[in-house]
Structure 1
Amino acid sequence: MTNPLDILILGLSLSSSWGNGHATTYRALIGGLHAGGHRVLFLERDVPWYAAHRDLPDPDFCQLVHYSDIEEMIENHADRIKAADAVIIGSYVPSGVAVIDRIAALKPRRLCFYDIDTPVTLAKLDRGDEEYLARRQLATFDAYFSFSGGDVLAGLERGYGARKAIALYCSVDASRYRPTDEAFRWDFGYLGTYSPDRQPTLERLLIEPARQLPHLSFVVAGPQYPENIDWPANVERIEHLPPADHPSFYSRQRFTLNVTRTDMIAAGWSPSVRLFEAAACGTPIISDEWRGLNEFFADGQAIIIAKGSGDVVDALTTIAAAGRRALASAARATVLERHTGEVRARELAAALRELPEEGGERQSSPASIHFSLGDA
């Protein structure tokens, strides 16, 4: 039997799903690692906006520790960082560039990056924006685990200097995300935090169909939507839904909408966690179009790909209950086979074991020993 791994993860948030998709991604992955017998310590920066909205303050599948600044984190966890089988730093970690430099200087056995925002990250690097990752740092990592697959992986290695780029798609905790068998409340809905680049698609694929179908009921759940949005009378608004309420929310929709960020559409092969969660709940999905989507869910068989409001109106008005059930069943079967937290954890563990234990042999980037305490 292969020995379990000791993994340390520094991520944006595990404790709070408020306004981010990272928490549910980490929860599914780490839950899968726990089920596989692996040990995980998750380090999360203690910031007020997540502290005020913690929906998982004490997970039962890993050790969660909050830290106030980089110096405290290093002082308290340096030994664990050096001893762990792998240290994984995630995207959007506060003061991420400084964190990466400090961790690299400790020469962990395996140092990896998990980018849950790969297309956004690369677009930022192209603009010279190094908010949480510096371009020089990509070569520091033994592996760059990417939310996006397909052509993006070769681009990471050839264009950005990543030593080894590996797809690690988001996943779903199938023990929590499953059909609840509740009665339908809405004909069509959407769950997602407001984003300016997603809003035009939401307007085209949900708000406009709602105007054309005033006899049907719609819902949009998620925070930070501006007050000046002109919601039709048949669109219900829910400000925030904690993950515990997601299965019920999805199960009460006849169809649900998936909307993809502009950078992720451009990159392709970038499924959102909401896509897998909705499918796991047995809810038929209507999605915007992007390269690679058919490789996850077959169009017309496990998902409806909509190019405009007319496609949505047709689906809502012509697909009967049997058709909805067929779509939902095919999508759910795909997720249970390929995209659960347990599946993704096995992929991660296998990839980590294939990496050499470099530790002190790793060549850090020239600037890795330079950092500013003002970033801490």
Structure 2
Amino acid sequence: MQIAVYGSSLLSSYWNGAATYYRGLLGAMARRGHGITFFEPDAFGRQQNRDIAPPDWARVVVYDATPEAVRSVLGAAGEADIVIKCSGVGVFDDELLAGILDHGRPDAVRAFLDVDAPATLAELRQSDAHPLHAALPRLDLVLTYGGGDPVVAAYRGFGARDCVPIYNALDPATHHPVPHDPAYAAGLSLLANRLPDREARIEEFFLRPAAALPEQSFLLGGSGWHDKPMPTNVRAIGHVPTAAHNALNVSARAVLNVARDSMAAVGFSPATRVFEAAGAGACLITDHWEGIDLFLEPDAEILVARDGHDVAEHLQTLTPDRARTIGEAARARILADHTYERRAVLLEQVLSDALIRRREQER
């Protein structure tokens, strides 16, 4: 299959948390013999902060963030068997969504890949004028990178023909154990950009424990935190490129995952950071959300906290040996059940079935 994807960025994780998801999933699809073309805009400084060079498994087309350039790249949609518009491109999202419907071949599958389904569904509930309302009946398929049955039911309720979660996972070639790096040493590390719908939860699950445990060290990576008041034992280091994620994950006694508000409310939405950290063998502490046990076993493969007090208690009782045991168990579980190679098998079947249905309809 020839697959065209219109997304935020494959080349840069700068203000783009979906980058490792795109790389892992699409790279695995390419290894299964499918052709990948990824269209991404030159916007938000991402091209100036690339993590990787264009990979040999995909053709990456970077276009100017102008109406003319958008129209130009949409013309290429007619060359693909599968045309996918991702959520959260950040510029010309509505035009890209309309464009894949109008420019895709009649016998091609048109799909919407939602990398923040709970937030998108909230927007659909709030506004009858949201462009996705009109687009859903025309789309062959909605894909999400999380959300479980609640998200599937919600999308079908809004008129989607089908909705299939393709969860985040691990690319073991990218995220794996490496030697400790003193530059990232900490009792607890968190990698998260500063976003309005997650900041209060980070205050609760990260900054509150830091204030309660002044004798321990805390490391915060991610963009946007430079003017945030913090306890003196928190070190904010700004954007951390993908190449440094392994070192950050292995160099702390524990690594924290904090879900965005909407994802925590819906559940069944493990962030890419969960799989990245587990793949490196880190001991993970996560805020609570429904469905954790589908991916990692609480207390054996991951530690779960319902508030900042729980995080502080975990840190006070977590020995290096127990942290190592939990991290090793998490890595084994993720390698066995949650790699992008496994996700690609599912995605390939879903897209193949949709393509067969589409071509039968066009006969």
Report 1:1-376 matches (<5 A).
5-68=1-64, 69=66, 71-75=68-72, 78=75, 80-93=76-89, 94-108=91-105, 109-128=108-127, 133-148=131-146, 149-157=148-156, 159-182=157-180, 185-225=185-225, 227=227, 229-355=228-354, 356-358=356-358
What code does the residue aligned with 1:187 have? G
The answer to whether the 8 A contact 1:210-1:218 is kept is yes
Moved more, 337-346 or 66-75: 66-75
Distance apart, 1:297 and its partner CA? 1.3
Moved more, 211-220 or 62-71: 62-71
What TM-score do you get using the length of structure 2 for normalisation? 0.91
Give distance in 2, aligned partners of 1:130 and 1:224.
Answer: 31
Distance apart, 1:26 and its partner CA? 0.5
What code does the residue aligned with 1:145 have? L
Question: SS at the partner of 2:239?
Answer: coil
Give distance in 2, aligned partners of 1:334 and 1:129.
Answer: 42
Structure 1 residues 71, 130: closer, same or farther in 2, change over 3 A? farther
What is the identity percentage for the equivalent residue pairs of Structure 1 and Structure 2?
32
Distance apart, 1:46 and its partner CA? 2.0
What code does the residue aligned with 2:322 have? G
The answer to whether the 8 A contact 2:121-2:154 is kept is no
Distance apart, 1:172 and its partner CA? 2.6
The answer to whether the 8 A contact 1:107-1:359 is kept is no
What code does the residue aligned with 2:99 have? R
Distance apart, 1:48 and its partner CA? 4.8
The answer to whether the 8 A contact 2:198-2:261 is kept is yes
Which runs of no fewer than 5 residues in structure 1 stay unpaired? Answer: 363-376
Distance apart, 1:120 and its partner CA? 0.9
Distance apart, 1:176 and its partner CA? 1.3
Distance apart, 1:121 and its partner CA? 0.6
Give distance in 1, aligned partners of 2:104 and 2:186.
Answer: 53
Give distance in 1, aligned partners of 2:31 and 2:218.
Answer: 37
Distance apart, 1:329 and its partner CA? 1.8
Give distance in 2, aligned partners of 1:76 and 1:247.
Answer: 35
Structure 1 residues 194, 9: closer, same or farther in 2, change over 3 A? same
What TM-score do you get using the length of structure 1 for normalisation? 0.88
The answer to whether the 8 A contact 1:259-1:288 is kept is yes
Structure 1 residues 283, 6: closer, same or farther in 2, change over 3 A? same
Question: SS at the partner of 1:44?
Answer: strand
Question: SS at the partner of 1:119?
Answer: helix
Give distance in 1, aligned partners of 2:71 and 2:309.
Answer: 55
Number of residue pairs the alignment of both structures matches:
354
Q: Deviations over 1:270-306 (max 9, x none)?
A: 1111111111111011111111112211111111110
Question: SS at the partner of 1:265?
Answer: helix
Which runs of no fewer than 5 residues in structure 2 stay unpaired? Answer: none
The answer to whether the 8 A contact 2:74-2:103 is kept is no
Give distance in 1, aligned partners of 2:360 and 2:85.
Answer: 18
Structure 1 residues 300, 17: closer, same or farther in 2, change over 3 A? same
Distance apart, 1:208 and its partner CA? 1.9
Question: SS at the partner of 1:246?
Answer: helix
Give distance in 1, aligned partners of 2:282 and 2:303.
Answer: 12
In the TM superposition, structure 1's runs of 4+ consecutive aligned residues that sit over 3 Å from their partners are 69-78, 359-362
Distance apart, 1:309 and its partner CA? 2.4
What code does the residue aligned with 2:346 have? E
The answer to whether the 8 A contact 2:112-2:143 is kept is yes
Question: SS at the partner of 1:358?
Answer: helix
The answer to whether the 8 A contact 1:110-1:357 is kept is no
Distance apart, 1:55 and its partner CA? 2.1
Question: SS at the partner of 1:134?
Answer: helix
The CA RMSD measured in Å over matched residues stands at 2.1
Question: SS at the partner of 1:150?
Answer: helix
Work out which structure has the larger RCO, using CA pairs closer than 8 Å and 6 or more positions apart in sequence. 1
Give distance in 1, aligned partners of 2:104 and 2:35.
Answer: 20
Give distance in 1, aligned partners of 2:359 and 2:121.
Answer: 27
Give distance in 2, aligned partners of 1:200 and 1:71.
Answer: 40
Give distance in 1, aligned partners of 2:360 and 2:101.
Answer: 10
Distance apart, 1:251 and its partner CA? 0.8
Give distance in 2, aligned partners of 1:15 and 1:197.
Answer: 25
What code does the residue aligned with 1:328 have? G
